[in-house]
Amino acid sequence: MDDDFTRRVLLNLDVENYSARTDVDQDLVQRALVDVVEDAAARAGFDLARWQVQGSGDGQLAVLPAETAEKRVVDDLPSALAVALAAHNGTARRELRLRLRVAVHQGLVRATPNGYAGAGVVTVSRMVDSAPGRKALKACPDAVLVVLLSPLLYADLVVQGHTRLAPDDFREVPVVTKTFDSTAWLHLPGFDVHAITLDQTASPGSEPEREPTAVPVPGAAVPGSHNTTVHGDVRGRNVVIGVQNRFER
């Protein structure tokens, strides 16, 4: 079998609270999502007819053409999506208003009879489904969009100054889903991403929080003695661990 995987920019979009809607509203939400993406692509100057799209009901996986400039996706598409969402939500009844999580990555991908294969597809899918993106929308009710950028694109585009966005416009968050353990860079268009509380779990690779453990006082206890035990971690120089009072009989 030929190895015809190609490197592409990958988008994954997901609608917030899709499953909480009625059957009829789910149908209308899916139609609205297609309209919003078409509107945003037109606003940002993308030819949507050349995108390879795999629908998932409450979202889309989009494989962009090989010649797509990554910086245009990072610079132009999120702002266009925010405008398209605002236009839709301005006339839609409450049950049909949309808020989106969007993950952006670049990786090797190949079309298959059942969709698309490749580690890049797994990465962008785990990113969009991770807890920080969901928590960000809940923590910022006025936001209609949260963007999760992969570490690769953040380092190559944002850090190196190739986009209009600055590193301070992003916040690193953990992406821990199933067996996937990585990070992403979260951006809230129009809002201060550092001002929201995400109640994050520890970042991958960091030392997990440990249960308090007893630290015994140096020296063996003797009958009739009083020992002071310290609970938790003790760090520092010349630290007195405990006080031992010994009473002779």
- The model's pTM: 0.76
DSSP state of 16: T
Residue whose C-alpha is closest to residue 120's, from 73, 61, 56: 61
Residue 96 burial (CB count, 10 A): 15
Q: Does domain 6-195 have CATH number 3.30.70.260?
A: no
Report d(CA 115, CA 12) in Å as an integer: 13
For residue 60, give the H/E element and its range.
Answer: strand 59-63
pLDDT (0 to 100) of residue 55: 83
Token pair listed for 206: 């960091």
pLDDT (0 to 100) of residue 181: 85
For residue 108, give the H/E element and its range.
Answer: strand 100-112
Using CA atoms, how far residue 221 sits from 30, 213, 226, 227, 232, in Å, is 70, 18, 8, 7, 20
pLDDT (0 to 100) of residue 194: 94
pLDDT (0 to 100) of residue 226: 41
**How big is the CA angle at 201 (ends 195 and 206), to the nearest 5 degrees?**
110
| Beta strands 171-177; 180-187: pairing state | antiparallel
Domain coordinates in residue numbering, the chain: 6-195, 210-249
Q: Could you tell me the mean pLDDT of each successive run of 10 residues in the chain, 249 residues long?
A: 82 92 93 95 93 87 93 93 95 93 94 89 93 94 95 96 95 88 93 86 39 34 41 47 43
Q: What are phi and psi of 99, to 5 degrees?
A: -130, 135
Residue 75 burial (CB count, 10 A): 17
Residue 152 burial (CB count, 10 A): 14
Token pair listed for 215: 């630290």
